[in-house]
Structure formats: structure tokens, C-alpha cells
Chains A and B, each alone.
Chain A
Amino acid sequence: MKQKLDFFIIDDSEVNNFYTEDLLEEIDFIGKIDVFLDANEALNEMIKRNTEGIKQPDFVLLDIRMPEIDGFEFIEELEQEVDEDDFKCKIFILTSSKHRKDIESFEKQLLACEFLNKPLNKEELLEKIEKHR
């Protein structure tokens, strides 16, 4: 049996997290799900795991528009901390935005590999997980 996949959900929208977590729980090969309303908290956790050599989540679902730091600032800060070649965690942007500026920012950065729109669609998610696992 394949090892279960761990997820982080990072979004200040409580309803989105509620929905997304419920959707992930249905998928049998998904293991631990950690939900962060505060992006800074998630960032600190990932930096801590990086320095202490603890396993990162396999996938991160990251919102863009959040207070304090937005999704792209999150990625920028993480990029400074981690070694890209060793960083196995896959980041999916999960946003309601289809705005040109956000898509351009997504294309410019390197850590996030998919740009998904809300509400998360189960079939689409499964397909992207298959593509990147």
C-alpha cells in the first residue's frame, strides 16, 4: 500500500477550510490534514520542520488573499528558507481569483505548481495529485 499523503490547508476563510477539509477527508489515501487560518503560523511550522529535518506535508493548498501575508509573500519567504531541490512538498494555489495579476505572479514563482480555483473540485484535485505525487 502506498503511504498516505499529508496536507496543509492555509486560508483565512473558515468556510473554505471547513469545505476543503471535509472533501479531503473523503479521499482514502489522504492522511493527516492540518488547517491554518493564519498563514504566518503555517510558515513558521514549515520553516521549523525544514530546520529540524521533520517531514513536510506532501501537499499544501494555499490561498492568495490573506491578512498579514498573502499567498505569494508566503511562497517568497519559504523560498528563502528551503533548498528547492530538496523541497518535496507540492504547493497548489487555491483561490477564488482568476485575476491576470494573480496568474502572472503564479507564473513568476517556482514553488507552487498548480493554480486551482475555489470551490475545490474533487476530480480535479485527484488528477493534480496523481500528476505530482
Chain B
Amino acid sequence: MHKLLAKQIKRNNITFEEGSDLHHFVEAVANTYTQMYQEQVKFEESSNRMLSKISHTNENLQTIIETIDSFNYHLSHDLKTSIINNISLTRMVKKYYEKQNQDKMKKLIVRLEKNSSDGLALIEKYLEISKFETQISEASKENINIPKLILKLQQELHLDDKLDIKVNIQGFDSLLIDEISIRSIIQNFMTNAYKYGNDNGKTVFEVTLSSDFDYYYLEFKDNGIGIDLEKQGNKLFKPFIRIKQHEQEGSGVGLFIVKKIVNKLGGSINVTSKLGEGSTFTIKLLK
């Protein structure tokens, strides 16, 4: 520090000659010192900011790597399963051909065809996910009226008489957001509420829009079958895992996509749930 100070003093042309004002000189040196100190503080602050940015980026990259890992694992597993199923069924056709069991063969060929179409649907599902990601990164933001969108989606998804929807506006009703993102979020919660709905009667799906000084809160509440968070909580937002074996169709990517969107928007998502009583998902977005 002393050497640096001396250099800076030289650079600032601060000199002391006999007869000149000592007070002035000391003040000039002190000023130089303060200035250097402030610069150092600024430098430390900016490097700290940079470090936290780097560590944030690292965390994001880690998440991306984990996502890709898990995506690859599931993709290869699902494709393999589909092909293995085809091999299994083909082996059976061969066996029953040798036994000259026409009836069994006919049934097997029907299954073989169905299995192949399922395989095709599977590939399309994976393609859709990757397409979806490019779509949201290219989409532009607009002012979206949430209650209107909810009504529109309820009609589009033919859930008019299947879900009892309530919207509580407690702070805002419109958001500046891209339509694909907000649509996917609402659609996912809405269809989940229906799929995993109340077994004894109509499912109530309640959306509450509230805000405070910094955040918007979008709460999606249903009175469906609920989730055992203690057991399933860590799996909930992972891709390709279906919590409940259910006769309803599902790909196991819904909540994963919601989480991805919310992350992309810089927000967070929280869930509370009780088996048999329903679930509440809350999305928090910075204003």
C-alpha cells in the first residue's frame, strides 16, 4: 500500500518543498489515500458481485447439466423400453407362429402395431419438449389478463363442467409476460387439478392473485387427492416421473416444465399439500 501510495502521490504531482504549506501537503496525501481506499473498496465490491454472479451461473449450469442428464436417462430408457417391447412381442409372434396359433398371432400383431404407435408418440413428446424450450426463449412479453386467460383455457380444454373454477383478485389481474409461459403454467395446474381431482364430487380449482411491495403471487389451489410431500416431494418437479399411477393419461413432464418456466422468469415455486385434501402451488414473481 505504501509503495502504491507513493506512486499515486507522484502521479498526482503532490510535492513538498521547503517553505510550502505542510497542512496542504498532508491534506493532499490524505485525499490521495482516501481516494485509493475508496477505489479498493469499489474493486472489492465489484469482484464480490462478480463472484456471486459466477457462483449463480455455476448453480444454473449445474441444474442444466442435471436436467440434460436426467433427460438423456429418461429418453434412452423410454426409447429402449419401446423397442424392447417390440422385440418381446415379435418373439411371441414367432413362437405362436411355430405353434400355428393363428388367434394368438392376430392378437399379438394388433399389440405390436399399438406398441409401435406408442413409440412414435413418445418420440413426438420428447421433440415437443425441446421445441417448447426454443419457443419460450423466443417469445415476446405482453400484458396478459389472467382471469380471462383462465376462462379461455377452461373452454379450450373442455373442462367447463368438470372443474369448479374460482378466481380471487387481491392485488393484480394482469401480468407482463409471454403468453406461452403463462398459458403452460395455468394449463398444467388446471389439468392436474382435474386429473388428480376430488374423487367424491366436483373438483374446486381456486386461483388467487395477490401482490406485495416486491412480488406477485399466483396461487393455484385444488381439493383433489393431494400429494404425500414427505415421500414424493423431492420427485415432484423432476421430469418423466409420475407420482400417482393413474388411469389418466400423463407424460410426467408437466410440473417439470412449470418449474423450468418459473426459473426462466426468475421466480420461485412452492407447494403445500395434504393427502386427501388437495394441493396448493404458489408461484412468486419479482415485480
Chain A interface (Cβ < 8 Å from any Cβ of B):
12-13, 15-16, 18-19, 22, 37-38, 65, 67-68, 96-97, 99, 118-119
Report A-chain residues with C-beta under 8 Å of the C-beta of B244. 67-68
Which residue of the partner chain, among B80, B95, B241, contacts A67 with CB atoms under 8 Å?
B241
A19 & B92 in contact (Cβ 8 Å cutoff): yes
Residues on B facing A (Cβ under 8 Å): 73, 77, 80-81, 84-85, 87-89, 91-92, 95, 111, 115, 232, 241-245, 252
For A13, list chain B residues within 8 Å (CB). Answer: 81, 85
Contact yes or no, A16 B85, CB < 8 A: yes
Interface pair A22/B92, CB less than 8 Å apart: yes
Name the B residues within 8 Å of A99 (CB-CB).
73, 77
Q: How far is the CA of A18 from the CA of B93 in the complex (A)?
A: 13
In whole Å, how far is A82's beta carbon from the nearest beta carbon of chain B? 21
CA–CA, A19 to B115, complex, Å? Answer: 13
- State whether A68 and B88 are in contact (beta carbons under 8 Å apart), knowing that A13-B81, A15-B111, A96-B77 are contacts in the complex: no
- Complex Cα–Cα for A96 and B232 (A): 24
Chain B binding surface, main DSSP class:
helix
Chain B positions within 8 Å of A119 at CB level? 84, 87-88, 91
Query: What are 17 of the A-B contact pairs (CB < 8 Å)?
Result: A15-B85, A15-B88, A15-B89, A15-B115, A16-B84, A18-B111, A19-B89, A19-B91, A19-B92, A22-B95, A65-B77, A67-B241, A96-B84, A97-B80, A99-B73, A118-B88, A119-B84
- Are A38 and B88 neighbours in the complex by a CB distance under 8 Å? no
How distant is A24 from chain B, measured CB to nearest CB, in Å? 13
Extra contacts besides A19-B89, A19-B92, A65-B77 (4): CB < 8 Å = A16-B85, A18-B88, A67-B243, A99-B73
Q: From known contacts A15-B85, A15-B115, A96-B81, infer whether A68 and B91 are also in contact, taking CB-CB under 8 Å.
A: no
Residues of B within 8 A of A118 (CB): 81, 84, 88
Residue in B242, B245, B252 whose Cβ sees the most chain A Cβ within 10 Å: B245
| Closest-CB distance, A115 to chain B (whole angstroms) | 15
A68 touches B243 (CB 8 A): yes
- Residues from chain B with Cβ under 8 Å of A97 in the complex: 77, 80
Q: How far is the CA of A118 from the CA of B115 in the complex (A)?
A: 16
Q: How far is the CB of B46 from chain A (nearest CB, A)?
A: 41
Q: Choose one: B85, B92, B245; the contact of A68 (CB below 8 Å).
A: B245
Q: Note all chain B residues with C-beta closer than 8 A to A37.
A: 245
Name the A residues within 8 Å of B95 (CB-CB). 22
Q: Which residues of A contact B115 (CB under 8 A)?
A: 15
Q: Which residue of A has the minimal Cβ distance to B69?
A: A101
Q: Which chain A residue has the least Cβ–Cβ distance from B241?
A: A67
Specify which chain B residues have a CB less than 8 angstroms from the CB of A67 in the assembled complex.
Answer: 241-245, 252
Determine the distance from Cα of A39 to Cα of B168 in the docked complex, in whole angstroms. 41
Closest 6 CB pairs of A and B: A19-B88, A15-B85, A119-B88, A67-B242, A96-B80, A118-B84
Task: Kindly report which residue of chain B lies nearest to residue A95, judged by CB atoms.
Answer: B77
Give the distance in Å from the alpha carbon of A19 to the alpha carbon of B111 in the complex. 11
- A12: chain B residues at CB < 8 Å are 245
Q: Which residues of A contact B245 (CB under 8 A)?
A: 12, 37-38, 67-68
Residues of B within 8 A of A65 (CB): 77
- Chain B contacts for A96, CB-based, 8 A: 77, 80-81, 84
A67 to chain B, nearest CB (A): 4
Residue on A with the closest CB to B228? A68
Please measure, in the bound complex, the distance between the C-alpha atom of A105 and the C-alpha atom of B229, giving whole angstroms.
24
Of all chain B residues, the one with the shortest Cβ separation from A118 is: B84
| A80 CB to nearest chain B CB (Å) | 15
**Which of B88, B242, B252 meets A16, CB within 8 Å?**
B88
A18–B91 Cα distance when bound, in Å, is: 12
Smallest CB–CB gap between B93 and chain A, Å? Answer: 11
CB distance from B231 to the nearest CB of A (A): 9
Q: Which residues of A contact B242 (CB under 8 A)?
A: 67
Closest Cβ–Cβ distance, residue A42 to chain B (whole Å): 13
